[in-house]
A = this chain, B = another copy of it.
Amino acid sequence: MPPFTFIFLSFALENFKTKNTTKKLLINKQIGVLGAGSFGTAVSNLIALNSKVVLYTRSDTTYQQITNTRSFNGIPIHENVEVTLDLNYLAKSCDLIFPIVPSRNFRKAIRELAPYLTPQHILIHGTKGFDIVGEDENESLEKLAITRENLKTMSEVILEETNVLRIGCLSGPNLASEIIAGQPTAAVVASRFKEVVTLGKSALNSKLFHVFGSNEILGAELAGALKNIVAIGSGMLSGLGLGKNIQAMLITRGLTEMIYFGKAMGVTSAPFLGTAGIGDLVATATSKDSRNFTFGYRLAKGESKNEIIESMSEVAEGVRTLRIARQLAKYYKLHVPITMTLYACVYDGFDLKKALDYLIQYPYDIDVDFI
């Protein structure tokens, strides 16, 4: 006879299953995804478990590939996913759209979509990086004095560029390769609007994907962007042949620096300590499938920054975020030695082993001072 705990868990599990299958979908229309990169297609496949999906790509090649082969770069695309080249069609057929575009191109993509949007639309983005106002006109980010005025999160870009008000952000430990492989995970949909959270959860929730809700969107966006810096550092440590102890310390102290940035920008530590913070950070900074980890790893192995960037099929957002974060740290006068040292390693050729010595011997005041 199975013991009590076993019976209890079995019963509870059945109970949840029943609840789940009887759950009514809140969205009857199709759901849109803007951007057919690896994460965009992974999210499309996830949503396709619950609803019809319209996936927009600007690339003819991608459109042809998905339409003709029902797969993209070897990844099968769910039959519920329709691919389109038409922004008007995307906006007309979907009230809820997930923009998932690299941060550097995000404003441009949203600007192109904007004429087709109405205040009835809901946008939940899945991009983990920053927009810098005025960047187009300047060759180098370093020449811009970055302040809170010209640093924008993706939700702020949507707010500026469209007439949409109900905006959310999707974040969490979501390595695309694992989602595509059908592995389980969780995420956060963060928004100031409860209905955005509810709709986002309803669109994405499945037995493989647990979606938490949160109203701290700025925190979720900052955590998602800043954690890529730590992932670069973690890749470097791995490239130097180092192990789990020091990786865990980098993650711990890196999280602390992320929280310092958040505090400076008026965010509580809570979003950094959950799924969109620790969750995303740990996954990205310990996985060889993470682009940012890989960037750091290859840098430590002796390749140059430009070699690595040119050979990567998709952007490692952290390389750009690092430049922005360094300037932001100056603006807010933050003590963030990991961020500053990683910048020196990536952009100024500072020796990685010296950097490690420096950080180990850095006179940190206190272990935890952000509560």
Contacts and interface: CB of A to CB of B under 8 A. Distances in A.
A243 B207 contact: no
B5 A360 contact: no
Given A16-B358, A183-B245, A251-B279, 4 more contacts: A5-B343, A5-B344, A10-B350, A178-B244
A268 interface: yes
B173 A248 contact: yes
Interface residues of A, number: 82
A9 interface: yes
Contacts of A196: none
A242 interface: yes
A212 B247 CA distance: 17
A208 B275 CA distance: 31
A348 B17 contact: no
Contacts of A207: 357, 360-361
Contact of A6 (B270, B276, B348): B348
Contacts of A354: 9-10, 13
Copies of the protein in its oligomer: 2
Contacts of A356: 184
A371 B252 contact: no
Interface stretch (A124-132, A150-158, A162-170, A282-290): A282-290
B2 A247 contact: no
A172 B246 CA distance: 11
Contacts of A249: 172-173, 185-186, 210, 275, 279
A214 interface: yes
Given A13-B357, A343-B5, A366-B212, A248 B349 contact: no
26 contacts: A5-B340, A5-B348, A6-B348, A9-B355, A9-B358, A13-B361, A17-B361, A173-B245, A173-B252, A174-B245, A175-B244, A175-B245, A183-B245, A184-B360, A185-B248, A185-B249, A244-B283, A244-B286, A244-B289, A247-B286, A248-B286, A252-B275, A252-B278, A252-B279, A268-B371, A274-B368
